[in-house]
Structures are given as C-alpha cells and as structure tokens.
Structure 1
Amino acid sequence: MSKQPLTITQLVPNSDPPTPDTGKRFKVQINPAEFTHSREIRYNKRRTQGQNRNRMRFSAVEPDSISFSLVLDGTGAVGGEGPVVEVVTQLEQLCRIVYNYDSSAHEPNHVQVAWGTLIFNGRLQSFSTQYTLFKPSGAPLRAHCEMSFMGFASNSQANLEANRSSPDLSHSVLVVDGDTLPLLCLRIYGDARYYPEVAAFNGLREFRRLPAGLRLHFPPLS
C-alpha cells in the first residue's frame, strides 16, 4: 500500500462550503511522527457579589487548533519522485500556500490540512523553522518546521453547528440569580451594548435587577 502524504491545500477564496484548489497544494516528503488536535470551551467566570462559588456558565466554543512538525529534506536521502528540491525552494512553496498575504482578499489564505482521517479547514497561526544541516556554502540541507493552525467554519457550517448559540437565531433564556441584561447580551451576542434593544423587545422597564425565573427572549441581530 502506497504512503499517503499529508497535504496542505489552499481553499478557493470565499467558497461555501470550503473548496480545495487542487492546483495550489503542498505535499510533505515525510509525514509527521505525531500531531496535536486541541479543543477548548470557554466559560464565564465572573462572580456576583456574595457568591461563594462560580457556576461556570457556558460562554462559547473556541475554534479547534492543530499543530505538528514537518521535516524538509534537500539531501536526496529521502526517496521521492522527481529531482531533489532545495530546502529554500520547498519553504517558498509552503509559504505561498499557508503564509503569504493574499492582496485580493486582504488576508492570509484559508487552507485545508488532510492526512488519513484528518480533514481540517483553518489558517496558519504560527510557523517556525529550525535549520539542522547545511552545505559547505551555508545553504540549508534540512529544516524542521513547527506549524499550528486555527480552525474556521464557513457560514453554512457555522449555522449548522452553532444552532441556538448563533446570534442569527432567537434565544429564550430563563434568568437565574446574578444575571443582568448586559451580562446576558454579552454571553449571547458577544456585546453587552445590545441591552436597550432587548429590554424594549421584552417590554422591560427595569433591567438592572432581573428576578430569577423570568423568561427573556433575545431576538436575532438585525
């Protein structure tokens, strides 16, 4: 069975769902020995006066991230198709896919990292290169690249995954002790300044003190 190399492919700008541009792809010579896939959930840790313990209310799901190390080899010792490619040239090819600024989109490229069961859409977060072997002239013969990518979701994917957490959808919230309207707006919309609109929508005259058990409705953002 032939080896399947890890590939990093540039995505077609503004494509929804994300569409790989197969003409702009980097295939690694040596697959990573390991990679890390990180997930993070953020909670609201703010305490109210007199509260003994923090209830750790859910705030948001952070984007996934992955990280791995690549080896770029220009010695010819690593088997592969075609002639030996200089390490500097390989780095330029890789940077064109993951790092270089897209002047038309005014941002770095979105890419897809694919290897085995991993299909990850994201953008480069960090990229460091350590050179470990050199020609007598000083030109690098081998490099280790540490890379990390932050995930993203297209609009269609986000709408499916976010469900009730999306500011494009209506929310129904049962008030508990310690809740304030600005705090609820911050939790749902990501911005506390929407509280006057929410107060008007719910017919509230007093928003500073919300009685526990009150049912509030948070409309979609206009």
Structure 2
Amino acid sequence: MRIVAYSDEKFTSKVDEYVVMLNPEQIKLDRSINYNEEQAPDSGKLSSKYRSTPGEKLSFDLVVDCTGVVDSTRTDMPTELNQLQKVVYTYNGDIHRPNYVIVYWGQGLSFQGVLTAFDTNYTFFKPDGTALRAKVSLRFTSYLDPSTAAKEEDKKSPDLTHRIAVVEGDSLPQISQQVYQDPDLYVQLGAFNQLNKLRNIKAGSVLSAPPLRSQGEQA
C-alpha cells in the first residue's frame, strides 16, 4: 500500500508519499445513501425519498513495526510516524490545509480523498520505554473538486436531455423514476420517443429523455 500526497484538489501535483511497512489486514469501504421519510399521498405509510449520496469512507489500521524484523532499515518510530503525518495529516502552508491524498493498494485499487482521523496506539516498547511498534488507525472521506462535482451533478440533472441505453428488464416507468424521480412521466417519455408500446421496450435501444414536468408543475 502507498499513500500519496497532492497539493491540488485535482490530484495532479504530487508532493510526497508514504509506503506502508505492512499491508493492513482489513480495509473497510463504506457507502451510504440518505433519504427523507415522507408520508405517501392518501396513505398512512412512509415513503423514502432520495435526498443525497454522501462521500465514501475508507478506514484501515496500519502496523508500524520498528523492531527491525520487518525492515532492518526502518527502525526509528518517530521518523516513521512523522513521515506518515506529513503526508496525510500535517498542515501544508502552501495550500493552507492538509494534503489531498490517494491511497493505492492491490491491483489497480485506489481511493481519492482527505484524512478525517489519525489515531495512534503504541503496543510494544524497549525496556527503557522507547516505542518499537504502533497501530495507526486512519480514516478518510472521498473528495471530488467542486468543478468536477458540479459537472457530474449537471449530467444527472432532469433539466438536461439524457441518452438512456435500455438494458434487459428496463421499463419506461423505471427509467422515468431514474431520470425524473417520477414514474408517472413514462407516458410523456414514451410519446417523445414515438413508442407505440409504452411498457415493453427493447433491450439495446437508446431513448432520449428530455426535460419533463408533472402535470400542473411549473416548467
């Protein structure tokens, strides 16, 4: 595993890196979706309405072993921890914040984000109290620069015309829900694409999904 520091939010200007001594035993990647619970019309049941998708979270524990067993050239605990802190935690005066980082591990796996927590637990010492081994718990949250995030939001906006590739099992109500968050717009969607059969659409075909509004909604 390598943790590479960048000085810009587009991750193009590398400034430093840390190569871990021992790969973590486990790596946890958390994803979540936020919903608002709303009462469905003419029903006492609650309906989950999509609100947002928070950034992904990455967490893992690193063992820093300075006994000389793992690597005889890396036996100074302060040096190891200072380098790790410099990469992920220390305030960078050139950009007025800690670095942006990409965590690389495995075959082509990576995580682009920023550090949110850095916890150190010293676990083994010399008789004189010098620390020889520590467990460092790191937590990161994903990061996307504002301009790229805005472009991605625009691509998903129902106010733009989309090209939708139909896959097996798709239906117009499903596509209408995906694009407009309203399955009832499937009739308008079918009419725009000049479809005679509204519920049976052919896999492999491409539909155009223009800006649509529910009846009575202001355009």
Do Structure 1 and Structure 2 share a fold, with TM-score over 0.5? yes
2:215 alignment counterpart:
213
1:126 alignment counterpart:
117
* 8 A Cα contact 2:114 2:143, kept in partner: yes
CA deviation map 1:98-149 (0-9, x unaligned): 1111233232211000012321110111111111100122111000011110
CA deviation map 1:40-63 (0-9, x unaligned): 111122448985222211111110
- Figure out how many residues of one structure are paired with residues of the other and give that number: 170
* 8 A Cα contact 1:9 1:20, kept in partner: no
1:52 alignment counterpart:
44
**Is 1:31 aligned to residue 23 of structure 2?**
yes
CA distance in 1, matches of 2:80, 2:57: 24
* 8 A Cα contact 1:174 1:213, kept in partner: no
CA distance in 2, matches of 1:134, 1:51: 64
Pairing 1:191-206 to 2, within 5 Å after superposition: none
User: For residue 60 of structure 1, what is the amino acid of its counterpart?
Assistant: S
Residue of structure 2 aligned with 1:110, choices 88, 91, 100: 100
Pairing 1:133-144 to 2, within 5 Å after superposition: 133-144=124-135
**Is 1:92 aligned to residue 82 of structure 2?**
yes
Shift of 1:216: 3.7
**Is 1:150 aligned to residue 141 of structure 2?**
yes
Please state whether the residue corresponding to 1:55 is helix, strand or coil: strand
Please state whether the residue corresponding to 2:215 is helix, strand or coil: coil
CA distance in 1, matches of 2:132, 2:181: 62
Shift of 1:156: 5.2
Please state whether the residue corresponding to 2:55 is helix, strand or coil: coil
Please state whether the residue corresponding to 1:45 is helix, strand or coil: strand
Please state whether the residue corresponding to 2:152 is helix, strand or coil: helix
1:187 alignment counterpart:
none
**Is 1:66 aligned to residue 61 of structure 2?**
no
1:9 alignment counterpart:
4
Structure 1 residues 105, 214: closer, same or farther in 2, change over 3 A?
farther
* 8 A Cα contact 2:74 2:80, kept in partner: no
Q: TM-score, with normalisation over the residues of structure 2? A: 0.67
1:19 alignment counterpart:
12
* 8 A Cα contact 1:174 1:214, kept in partner: no
Please state whether the residue corresponding to 2:115 is helix, strand or coil: strand
Q: TM-score, with normalisation over the residues of structure 1? A: 0.66
CA distance in 1, matches of 2:31, 2:81: 28
Where in structure 1 are there 5+ consecutive unaligned residues? 1-5, 177-211, 218-222
CA distance in 1, matches of 2:134, 2:46: 47
* 8 A Cα contact 1:20 1:111, kept in partner: no
Percent identity between matched residues is: 30
Structure 1 residues 129, 79: closer, same or farther in 2, change over 3 A?
same
1:193 alignment counterpart:
none
* 8 A Cα contact 2:3 2:19, kept in partner: yes
Where in structure 2 are there 5+ consecutive unaligned residues? 161-178, 184-213
